[in-house]
Amino acid sequence: MVKNRFKDIPLNRSDLEVEAFISSYLLREGFSPSQHEIARGLGRSRYPIQISIQKLIAHGRVTVLKNGKGLTSVAQVASQVPLPQVPLLGAVAAGRPIEAIERRESIEVPSWMMKPNAYYFVLRVQGESMIEDHIENGDLVLIRQSDSARNGDRVVALINNEATLKRFEKKNGRILLHPANAAMRPIEVGAHQEFRIAGIFSGILRKTDH
């Protein structure tokens, strides 16, 4: 009954993003993500994720595993295409700035998360200043390289060669880096400090277990 009802509803972009997340998670981890992991990974609440999964099942894009305890993407099973490799450059503070970015290793990233003709890198989050944006300590975040940003963008900024992830604001000549944590205060960049934007936040690649 549920399957027939959802089969009549066309898939939208949000549904396809859920499918891509399931597929990339399976390729990366070797097992199915939970609905909670999908919701956190895409920065959404649980209910719309549940609806998307029901629609994907009804349309034959996702199937329930035989043990009933997970999902698998039909497209992922049919085609084992390697994911693009993006450099993992180190750590970024979601708190106070902690260290400069330097190349470490590489990590697979779903191609749907990246725009063509753009350079991306991955950083590991340290700290809890962005938890209200569902970005938590230990998470891997995808960053699109850019030296400019608009007010409200989540950016990786370098202050005196130390990296931090915050929401960017420039107002009346002042630069403020806002946390997504009501318990923390913004960082104001001083006139004597070296400052540049390294990139724009594009998504969360891997959530840590808590």
Q: Which amino acid is at 186?
A: P
Q: What phi and psi, each to the nearest 5 degrees, are found at residue 37?
A: -65, -40
Question: Hunting for tokens 């962005």 — which residue is that?
Answer: 130
| Secondary element (H or E) of residue 53 | helix 46-58
**Pairwise CA distance, residues 121 & 179, whole Å:** 21
129 is catalytic: yes
Active site residue: 52, 73, 129, 202, which one?
129
**Pairwise CA distance, residues 141 & 156, whole Å:** 10
Active site residue: 24, 52, 73, 166, which one?
166
Q: Give me the residues paired with residue 165 across strands.
A: 156
Helix, coil or strand: residue 189: coil
Residue 77 to residues 12, 165, 204: CA-CA distances in angstroms? 22, 36, 23
Q: How far is CA 73 from the centre of its chain?
A: 20
Kindly calculate the radius of gyration of the chain based on its CA atoms and give it in whole angstroms: 19
166 is catalytic: yes
> Which residues does the annotation mark as catalytic?
129, 166
